[in-house]
Structure 1
């Protein structure tokens, strides 16, 4: 396992399906500590640590979704010899999708299931919520989503630490264009909060067109970061989805 890219919160779970989790814009691997604990011994959770945050804060963050997905796919190659699944939230959903596409295109085994959370399906045009041209707009958007603690946003020193990653991530999302291609063969589960201010249900449902496998849309109570309060429900959706994926593999 590449210790640069992946974090495991607890002991390795031998024989369990590996779930690789991709954080949101500005987020870090630690965002998945609660989910990792909730999944317990049934799933081996690896959280992706993007450059430019936490213990990788001295590294330059990626400013392109394509370049970021290229690097993630390369880091994933040694992990594809055993069954694995992806879970991506918000920006992480885009990176999970694009990383899966690259692995399959390179002839590697694809994920047995892909969980895409808090994000509408990709299209040739960027979401207006991604096109943020200033720090003021970024901070307004982040505060509206509620995913970053106000203690961080209100502390000048902490804010200075997280802003480079936020600028890079939102810049990458604003420049991202889906250019078509073969749908994923893996079954896809899409999760969304019913009060998400930036992702409508029909936008989330449009992921159906990006897989030739089974598709499931799960709508949970909450906003963009519904999973902070619905960890147990998300755990059950994941374990059920992986059970079905395993039985049909």
Structure 2
């Protein structure tokens, strides 16, 4: 027994469509400032082929009153505990941007615990072993500068960016997420023995193709890279293609 309650699991793991009786599960990890609802569209596309579960981090939407977790490793540990409480169907992990780091650390923890995921799918994030020199971390910028960063990444509805009340709701969690990502330090360890699939936009300022390719360093189980037209939020316009990539790799895993 893990000691994780049903109520606790419902806080962390969101299901938007009924799960099939059999088949794999896809666990989705949101980007910085993102919420579980970001994956509703992907869940709809993959239903009823597989169960899609989206993680809801503290500090946003119905968990807005909770303090965000500002440490990637700690966040991964909390989510791993929740996943251990679910049934044992074959599981794939999908994380976009910050979510890719969280999913990677969850995959490591799951393998160490003997419940390895079938495949880790990373999106819009450079490999943990890569580094970039930055003059000033984004979480130390003022609100106006963070809003400009959101505009540049083109993943937030412009109406949200122009609504001061909405901004006041989302910026604290976003700043905390930036702090979590920017203070994350990769700790070298054994490579994953399950495959990694890396997805990246051709013009993503957050992850070059070479940086996405570097995820190959972190697995002994095979690596595949998929490059899409677009920037950091390429998956907004290539959702069906991404869904097909997931279907294809899940079919390979369970065959």
TM range (shorter): over 0.9
The farther-off stretch of 6-15 and 133-142 is 133-142
Distance 2:78 2:135 in 1: 25
Q: Which residue of 2 aligns with 1:151?
A: 159
Q: RMSD of the alignment, in Å?
A: 1.6
Q: Pick from 84, 92, 107: which aligns with 1:85?
A: 92
Q: Which residue of 1 aligns with 2:3?
A: none
Q: CA deviation at 1:130?
A: 8.7
Superposed CA deviations along residues 104-135 of structure 1, whole A, max 9, x for unmatched, are 22x23110011100000012746639921213
Q: CA deviation at 1:209?
A: 0.3
Q: Which residue of 1 aligns with 2:222?
A: 214
Distance 2:135 2:27 in 1: 26
Distance 1:230 1:200 in 2: 18
Q: CA deviation at 1:95?
A: 0.2
Q: Which residue of 2 aligns with 1:194?
A: 202
Tell me the SS of whatever aligns to 1:69. helix
Distance 1:79 1:130 in 2: 40
Tell me the SS of whatever aligns to 2:252. helix
Tell me the SS of whatever aligns to 1:42. coil
* Structure 2 unaligned residues grouped into runs of 5+: 1-5
Q: Which residue of 1 aligns with 2:134?
A: 128
Q: Which residue of 1 aligns with 2:10?
A: 3
Q: Is the 8 A contact 2:130 2:211 kept in 1?
A: no
Aligned positions of 1:50-129 closer than 5 A: 50-79=57-86, 81-105=88-112, 107-123=113-129, 125=131, 128=134
What is the number of residues matched between the two proteins? 246
Distance 1:129 1:147 in 2: 23
Does the C-alpha gap of structure 1 residues 44 and 213 become closer, same or farther in structure 2, counting only changes over 3 Å? same
Q: CA deviation at 1:67?
A: 1.2
Q: Which residue of 2 aligns with 1:177?
A: 185
Distance 1:244 1:217 in 2: 15
* Structure 1 unaligned residues grouped into runs of 5+: none
